[in-house]
Structure 1
Amino acid sequence: MISTRLAPLLSLLLSAAIFGFFYAWVCSTMWGLDAADPAVAIQAMQAMNASVRNAVFFPAFFLTPVVLALTSGLLFRDHQRGAATCFGLAAGVYLLGGFGVTVLFNVPMNEALAAVIVPEATETANRIWQDYSGRWQFWNQIRTVASGLAVLLAGAGLLRIR
């Protein structure tokens, strides 16, 4: 059984991992793709989106809300209401703003881009990329902020544990 010592640390680690993943797209990956030839950007994004479904990504993306909620429950059981509330809020914020935004917005956009045959005409590739990149980055910034807030809430919860 997971302990009230290990669960908060694991919660913080998973929250930080997914925040870092989303943050890297904000501050480097998408800027690099936007600077590349649009056909290359489309192909690169298709390859990255196809590769992200793996066992290394799975825990941070899928298990973060589970571990945060489990941590909250364990802490409530141990009468540590303040810490439990922080971890519970972190679970909700990530579930809605990180996981939910990804599933509702970024993934459908990724799937639509995956179906695109990369056009030879630069103007056509540029139009496809510009339409995708701006919208995708908007939703990525939302999930990045939500995930960062989840990290802060988990950290606050960790500090409140007696």
Structure 2
Amino acid sequence: MIQGPYFVLTLLGALACGLVAGVFVAFSTFVMRGLAALPPAQGIAAMKAINVTAVRPAFMVLFIGAAGLCAVLAVVTFVLWPDEGTVELLLGCALYLAGTFGVTIAANVPRNDALAKLDPEAAESADYWRTYVAEWTMWNHIRSVASLAASASFVLALTV
């Protein structure tokens, strides 16, 4: 069984990934639906404001901190190579780092950057908004599942 500081790191990883999953599930299940129901100019303006607010310390410490915990856990797991929980730990780290952090950088952030350049009142912005909502939400579903699966993997590692 995982013990000591390694246990604490794993528990913190499970909690951080679970919290990130909760944020992303909230966005996928009601925030984006609510924004999509608004007239495009209002939805664009609201999402632009959310994107500015999201990069403040409250969320970024959690989001980047979870990635840091996963990186540390992966290194410690390779160094210690415990008898139990190794596969679950490495899977959880990979799920978060690739499926959550990587997808954010590769898929969600570029869409947010493109949205930031739009004039919410321009006619062509409404067309992009519909595409943005569909694509951004799809990638957010992937981030949600990856974060939750990473959290579950860490919990499983603690139980073997």
TM-score range, shorter chain: 0.7 to 0.9
Q: Aligned pair 1:8/2:10, yes or no?
A: yes
Aligned to 1:59: 61
2:29 alignment partner in structure 1: 27
State the number of aligned residues. 157
Alignment match of 2:109 (pick from 91, 107, 110) = 107
3-state SS of 1:20 partner: helix
Find the aligned partners of 1:5 and 1:90 in 2 and give their Cα distance: 14
Q: RMSD of the alignment, in Å?
A: 2.0
Structure 1 residues 146, 4: CA separation in 2 closer, same or farther (over 3 Å shift)? same
8 A Cα contact 2:107 2:139, kept in partner: yes
Decide whether the 8 Å contact of 2:104 with 2:143 is kept in 1: yes
Tell me the CA shift for residue 155 of structure 1.
1.1
- In the alignment, structure 1 segments of 5+ residues that lack a partner are none
Q: How far did 1:73 drift?
A: 4.4
C-alpha distance 41-129 of structure 1, shift in aligned 2 (>3 A) = same
Question: Could you list the runs of 5+ residues in structure 2 that have no partner in the other structure?
Answer: none
Partner letter of residue 32 of structure 1? G
* Identity between Structure 1 and Structure 2 (%): 31
How much has 1:10 moved relative to structure 2? 0.7
TM-superposition CA deviations, 1:96-144 (whole Å, max 9, x none): 11111110110000011001011165xx453231121111111111111
Answer whether contact 1:72 1:84 (CA < 8 A) is retained. Answer: no
1:154 corresponds in structure 2 to 154
Tell me by how many angstroms 1:76 deviates.
5.8
| Compared CA separation, residues 71 and 119, structure 1 to 2 (3 A) | same
Structure-2 separation of matches of 1:129 and 1:70:
38
Q: Does the 8 A contact of 1:97 with 1:147 survive in 2?
A: yes
Where does residue 142 of structure 1 map in the other structure?
A: 142
- Flag the structure with more relative contact order, 1 or 2, with Cα contacts below 8 A and sequence separation at least 6: 2
Task: State TM-score, norm by structure 1.
Answer: 0.87
